[in-house]
Amino acid sequence: MKKEKTLVKIKKLLKSKSFIGSIIFAISLWAYAGLNGRYVTFVSVPFKISLPNNKAIEIIPPEKISVKVRGTGWDLFNLIVLNTSAVCTIDLTKNPLMANEYNIDRNQILKGIQGFNNVEPIDVIPESVSLKTGNVIFKKLPIIANISVKPRDGFIQVGQVKLEPDSILIRGNEKLLQTIKSWKSEYLELSDINSSQNLLIGISDSLSGIVTVNPAKISFSVEIQQIAETVVNDVEIKMIGGPKLKNHILSPKYIRVTVRGGAAQIADFSPETINAYIRYNQLIDDTTGILIPVITSPKDITILSIEPPYIYHFKELPGNKLANLK
């Protein structure tokens, strides 16, 4: 009975506001005392290099460096959690870089550290950075649209994404630019869209600080239409790629083709643009008696089906007899 009463008292104590307040106060006091102490730790900061106008980086240096710092818990907390201006900038714009290779030593790196308020930088990793530079050139590159388009059910994308402009001018190291054949836009996903789009998108900055691009933004457009289908009857099967073979007979001579596209496309669609053919070599090499015709259609018009899906091939023998090649 005494044990049960004791447990009840303990539970009441744990739930009491005074007890919870005491715990919070104790934790706060411990955190305050801890944050007022001095500590040593490492922080990672962006590493940026500025070069003279006639030089450009050939081998990409590290994007970030680790800085060993010393300071109070409060100052380290502000630096790591709240400070977004901490950076290490190496300014070589006023240095006459005669050679293409340059070594940035520990002292230069420490001097380039900025935004470390009330915190003392005492060391860096790496202790030095080897810089390889070269001559500056400009190069025009085609842009690849890094855009994913997912129309809403019942709608379809008509044609490819169009970019304006469709190329950019990049500036950078001569040897580095020789290895680059194209440039991507930023990634963008358009989902559940039911109308055409015309928007601005940025150019990828994957080599920011190494290569400069112009323009930084481009416009893109994509056409979205409601899905429509139509049937083209009596499409004649033709033979191409060689002389007409009188003793070879195809049956049937006409097929029916079902096509799909955007509503505006199908409205302007001409049945004469659908063609079906068998190649000369198909007839000569056929040993089965069954051939599948090749169907061509205008760009962005999809062939859904053909009826019948195949045709029969017969060879006429002397005496007006037909030989089925199956």
DSSP per-residue string spanning 180-249: ---EEBPPEEEEEE-S-EEEEEEBP-TTTTT-EEE-SEEEEEEEEEEEEEEEEEEEEEEEESS---TTEE
Report the pLDDT averaged over residues 71-75: 77
pTM across the whole model: 0.64
Of 124 and 324, more confident? 124
CB contact at 8 A, 167 and 202: no
Residue 29 pLDDT greater than 50, yes or no: no
* Percent with pLDDT over 90 in the chain: 40
> What's the pLDDT at 322?
53
Tens of pLDDT, residues 103-149: 889 999 889 888 888 888 889 888 888 888 888 899 999 999 999 99
Q: Report which secondary-structure segment, H or E, holds 101.
A: strand 101-104
d(CA 255, CA 143): 42
Report the pLDDT averaged over residues 192-221: 90
Per the DSSP assignment, residues forming a β-bridge with 37 are: none
Residue 150 pLDDT greater than 90, yes or no: yes
Report the pLDDT averaged over residues 226-240: 93
Q: What angle do CA 122, 125, 126 make, to 5 degrees?
A: 130
Which of 211, 209, 212 has the alpha carbon at shortest distance from 50?
A: 209
**Domains 41-127 and 137-226 in one fold:** yes
- The CATH number given to 137-226 is 2.170.120.40
Residue 72 pLDDT greater than 90, yes or no: no
The encoded tokens of residue 88 equal: 């290490």
Which of 274, 316, 313, 323 has the alpha carbon at shortest distance from 292?
A: 313
Radius of gyration of the chain (CA): 36
The answer for residues whose C-beta is within 8 angstroms of residue 248's C-beta and 6 or more apart is 283, 313, 314, 315, 316
Residue 303 pLDDT greater than 50, yes or no: yes
Per the DSSP assignment, residues forming a β-bridge with 225 are: 156
Residue 19 pLDDT greater than 80, yes or no: no
> What's the pLDDT at 319?
56
- CATH class of the domain at 227-324: mainly beta
Which of 90, 175, 187 has the alpha carbon at shortest distance from 131?
A: 90
Is residue 3 exposed (0-12), middle (13-18) or buried (19+ Cβ within 10 Å)?
Answer: exposed
Tens of pLDDT, residues 261-279: 999 999 998 999 999 999 9
- CATH class of the domain at 41-127: mainly beta
CB contact at 8 A, 314 and 322: yes
CB contact at 8 A, 183 and 168: yes
Residue 199 pLDDT greater than 80, yes or no: yes
In the DSSP assignment, the letter for residue 273 is G
The answer for residues whose C-beta is within 8 angstroms of residue 132's C-beta and 6 or more apart is 57, 58, 59, 100, 101, 102
- The ranges assigned to domains in the chain are 2-34, 41-127, 137-226, 227-324
